[in-house]
A and B are shown apart, each in its own frame.
Chain A
Amino acid sequence: GESVGLHLPTLSVQEGDNSIINCAYSNSASDYFIWYKQESGKGPQFIIDIRSNMDKRQGQRVTVLLNKTVKHLSLQIAATQPGDSAVYFCAENRAGGGNKLTFGTGTQLKVEL
């Protein structure tokens, strides 16, 4: 039969609005999480990270929230700009896995003018 590609969730926001991208992780032993941004034709680019002993971390226009109880991670982008349009991936480092990151399937963010 015909192969079907991954269906990336898509989030469409208006320029200037805030964006929230969510990610569920599977391994309760994961102790380090990263958000990456990937623009078309480029490699993933580091945005922000958080360790499991924290529940919130802020960067420039971005905030990552970690809820270990429900194994949920979110990325908040304030005042979303057209340049924020990309695919966003969460990645987890499973404890005992060295520096090996496991990536989620990604979310496509589209910023509408």
Chain B
Amino acid sequence: DAGVIQSPRHEVTEMGQEVTLRCKPISGHNSLFWYRQTMMRGLELLIYFNNNVPIDDSGMPEDRFSAKMPNASFSTLKIQPSEPRDSAVYFCASSLDGVNTEAFFGQGTRLTVV
């Protein structure tokens, strides 16, 4: 398996523009996570899906952020409108269903909003 695949790897956009980050989890994994990593706050969980259903979105910072998982092999994280403070590395991770299983991370998308 190729692991968790994220695209794009890098994104530079202007303030106010819409940004969509994409993730393909490992085949067979039932749980999917979106994390954000910054120097200020470290690794923060934004939202967590299980069997394509959002379970916990308490980490989503504002209404400008939204995430979807239309099927078991694809998820998006959208920021609309984007702001400079959204600049960060966004990671997607997936794990097998069940209790206490490790999450496998993608390579991340480095987002810069200018």
Task: Enumerate chain A interface residues (CB-CB to B < 8 A).
Answer: 3-6, 31-32, 34, 36, 42-46, 49, 51, 89, 93, 97-106
Taken together as a complex, chains A and B put the C-alpha atoms of A80 and B27 apart, in Å, by 34
Interface residues in B, total, Cβ within 8 A: 30
Q: Which chain B residues lie closer than 8 Å to A5 at the CB level?
A: 38-40
Give the contacts of B37-92 with A (CB-CB under 8 A): 38-43, 45, 48, 50, 55-56, 91
Asked if B102 contacts A34 (CB within 8 A), the reply is: yes
B106 at the interface (CB under 8 A from A): yes
Closest to A100 in B: B48
Q: Which chain A residues lie closer than 8 Å to B38 at the CB level?
A: 5
Closest to A3 in B: B40
Q: Which chain A residues lie closer than 8 Å to B35 at the CB level?
A: 103
Asked if A99 contacts B42 (CB within 8 A), the reply is: no
Taken together as a complex, chains A and B put the C-alpha atoms of A88 and B98 apart, in Å, by 25
Closest to B103 in A: A101
Contacts A4-B40, A6-B39, A99-B31 known; list 15 others, CB within 8 Å. A32-B99, A32-B100, A42-B108, A43-B105, A43-B106, A51-B100, A89-B43, A99-B99, A100-B56, A101-B45, A103-B42, A103-B43, A104-B42, A106-B42, A106-B43
Closest to B94 in A: A99
Asked if A44 contacts B105 (CB within 8 A), the reply is: yes
Taken together as a complex, chains A and B put the C-alpha atoms of A90 and B4 apart, in Å, by 21
Identify A99's interface contact among B40, B41, B48, CB under 8 A.
B48
Q: Which chain B residues lie closer than 8 Å to A4 at the CB level?
A: 40
Asked if B108 contacts A93 (CB within 8 A), the reply is: no
Q: Which chain B residues lie closer than 8 Å to A32 at the CB level?
A: 99-100
Q: Which chain B residues lie closer than 8 Å to A3 at the CB level?
A: 40
Taken together as a complex, chains A and B put the C-alpha atoms of A51 and B99 apart, in Å, by 11
Q: Report if A102-B42 is in contact (Cβ < 8 Å); known contacts: A31-B100, A43-B91, A46-B102.
A: no
Q: Which chain A residues lie closer than 8 Å to B100 at the CB level?
A: 31-32, 49, 51, 93, 99
Q: Which chain B residues lie closer than 8 Å to A98 at the CB level?
A: 31, 48, 50, 55-56
Asked if A100 contacts B43 (CB within 8 A), the reply is: no
Closest to B38 in A: A5
